[in-house]
């Protein structure tokens, strides 16, 4: 069974930093590209970051570019999101999602809450 479990969400002050983690199991993690998607309270889904299966290609939404870094650990099957200079607009639930071969997001974690205030 595919499982994605996020952790690392917390309440931080503006200007602070956080590192989110996503533990993957039940599938060949190293064969899949991965994404981070966030959802502000009461709002819709927003894609924010992508990393290829090898880690050689990354991309970011303009809203977070320059402030976040996506990375992956191929040995222990983890996905990370380093977030710096956080603002109140970054308050959201952050989901990790696997990148399907149809360019969909086929599996999702339950999310981790980041509150900036």
Contact 79, 72 (CB under 8 A): yes
One residue of 34, 68, 111, 114 binding another protein per CB under 8 A? 111
Angstrom distance (rounded) from CA 105 to CA 22: 15
Q: Does the protein bind another protein through residue 42 (CB under 8 A)?
A: no
Q: Least Å distance between CB 53 and another protein?
A: 14
Contact 114, 18 (CB under 8 A): yes
DSSP H/E element including 70: strand 68-73
Q: Are strands 11-12 and 112-116 parallel, antiparallel or unpaired?
A: parallel
Question: What is the contact mask toward another protein in residues 70 to 109, using x (rule: CB under 8 A)?
Answer: -------------------------x-x--x-xxxxx-xx
Q: Least Å distance between CB 44 and another protein?
A: 4
Q: Least Å distance between CB 15 and another protein?
A: 26
Please tell me the count of residues contacting another protein according to CB under 8 A.
Answer: 23
Contact 91, 31 (CB under 8 A): no
Contact 2, 98 (CB under 8 A): yes
Please give the residue ranges that form the binding site for another protein (CB under 8 A): 35, 37, 44-47, 50, 57, 59, 61-62, 95, 97, 100, 102-106, 108-111
């Amino acid at each position: 069974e595919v499982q994605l479990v996020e952790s690392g969400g917390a309440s931080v002050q503006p200007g602070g930093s956080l590192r989110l983690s996503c533990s993957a199991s039940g599938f060949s993690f190293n064969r899949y590209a991965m994404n981070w998607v966030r959802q502000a309270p009461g709002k819709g889904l927003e894609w924010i970051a992508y990393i290829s299966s090898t880690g050689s290609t990354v991309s970011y939404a303009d809203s977070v570019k320059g402030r976040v870094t996506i990375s992956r650990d191929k040995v222990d099957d983890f996905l990370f999101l380093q977030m710096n200079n956080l603002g109140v607009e970054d308050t959201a639930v952050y989901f990790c999602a696997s990148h399907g071969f149809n360019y969909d997001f086929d599996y999702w974690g339950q999310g981790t809450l980041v509150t900036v205030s």
